[in-house]
Amino acid sequence: MYSGNQQGMKEHKQYIAKTLELAKKGKGLVSPNPLAGALIVKNNRIISNGWHKAFGMPHAEIDALKKAGDKGKGATLYINLEPCCHYGKTAPCTKAIIAAGIKQVVCPMEDPNPLVAGKGFKELEKNGITVKRGILKEDAEKLNRAYITYITQKRPYVILKWAQTLDGKIATGNGDSKWITDEKTRDFVKRLRFETDALLVGINTIIRDNPSLDYIIPSFQTVKRALERKRYKKIILDPHLKMPRQSRLWEAQKSDILLVVSDKTSSQKIEGYRGRERCDILLIPEKNGEFHLRTLMDELYRKEIGIIMVEGGNYTLTSFWEEKLADEIMVFTGNKVLGGHNSLSPISGQEREHFSEAVKIKYSETKMIGNDLFVRGEPCFQG
């Protein structure tokens, strides 16, 4: 942790905070890579900035260094994540920083990727660059919690999302759920979908509602770049391959469809879907129509899917919840009361004997969207 004079610390915090804001511009386009922003500062003046704009594009440091040119010599680089020091989809950022003559690097956190994990800092220091670490570390880790999960747990970051009434119902007993929330909220959800790599639903949702599962490009993104660079899959849990041949899902041009099917399904039945454009089949073990979700997570990790949003029904949400595969929940509560003994709740599953077994939620955001309440938080699973 850096301990410098009070004025210097204040300036460092201000600049790191700006890198975090720059990094957010990459939301929806960089995953499974981290969100990263960079500033190059000389004589307390910002010379240039940069951010990681999309998966496979130059990292934030490189973007800022190119803009700075020769002015970067002797300057300080502020970056919210340790510079990489290995060859991947791009060349090592550490080598470019050294070549540019940067004098000092201020960075909140190490990269959890074992290929980096402190090695980037050591290489910079070995080449005479001062490295100050730890400033706004918690903020930096919070911003990239999805990336940290992807790297350390080798699976996608999982968000469970549902809309419910004030009495905690997501649908009537016969499955009708239109509409619990207002149109303004539904548009908000579509913008949140853009921040993910994939949206996951069960086949019953497709058959019952015939949804498009599309996203809306946020206003801060360049539409052309988003359409060119956005990686987005619609994942359908469909053990017995009941996917309709005609559906709104097939009409979308800006996403791929991944049908997750039982590994017991006949090859003849599968072949009828393999020829569909932008459609892929993933065979996963299942028992009594229930998939082995940990195996599914392994496969999605191999496909470089960093963030998934799981949208109910009850059966799909409960399956993930019971497996403790929920890093975050997003709940939208409409201004309606449904009632009814047979109405569906978002989570069912195993009965608990004691209220102390309830899972607490650590809230990260609450706000009103029109007449609807939005709550976002992290489940605190026991054990």
The residue with tokens 């020091």 is 85
Give the separation between CA 300 and CA 31, rounded to whole angstroms.
13
Identity of the amino acid at 65: L
Q: Is 61 a catalytic residue?
A: yes
Please report the pLDDT score of residue 273 as a whole number. Answer: 83
pLDDT band at residue 103, thresholds of 50, 70 and 90?
very high
Give the separation between CA 379 and CA 349, rounded to whole angstroms.
16
Longest Cα pair distance anywhere in the chain, in angstroms? 71
* pLDDT 10s digits, 205-222: 899 888 899 998 887 776
Identity of the amino acid at 165: T
E strands present in the chain: 37-42, 45-51, 76-79, 104-107, 130-133, 157-164, 198-202, 233-237, 256-262, 279-284, 286-287, 290-291, 307-311, 328-333, 360-369, 372-380
pLDDT exceeds 50 at position 182: yes
pLDDT band at residue 89, thresholds of 50, 70 and 90?
low
Average pLDDT score over residue span 143-150: 97
At 319 the three-state DSSP class reads: helix
* pLDDT 10s digits, 308-335: 999 978 899 999 999 999 999 999 999 9
Average pLDDT score over residue span 18-43: 95
Please report the pLDDT score of residue 3 as a whole number. Answer: 46
287-317 per-residue burial string, b: 16 or more CB within 10 A, e: under 16: eeeebebeebbeebbebebbbbbbbbbbbbb
In terms of Cα–Cα distance, which of 187, 108, 178 is closest to 143? 108
Give the separation between CA 100 and CA 273, rounded to whole angstroms.
52
The residue with tokens 């890093």 is 327
Catalytic residue (choose from 11, 21, 61, 228): 61
Please report the pLDDT score of residue 2 as a whole number. Answer: 47
Q: In the chain, pLDDT over 70 holds for what percent of residues?
A: 95
Q: Is 319 exposed, middle or buried (0-12, 13-18, 19+ CB in 10 A)?
A: middle
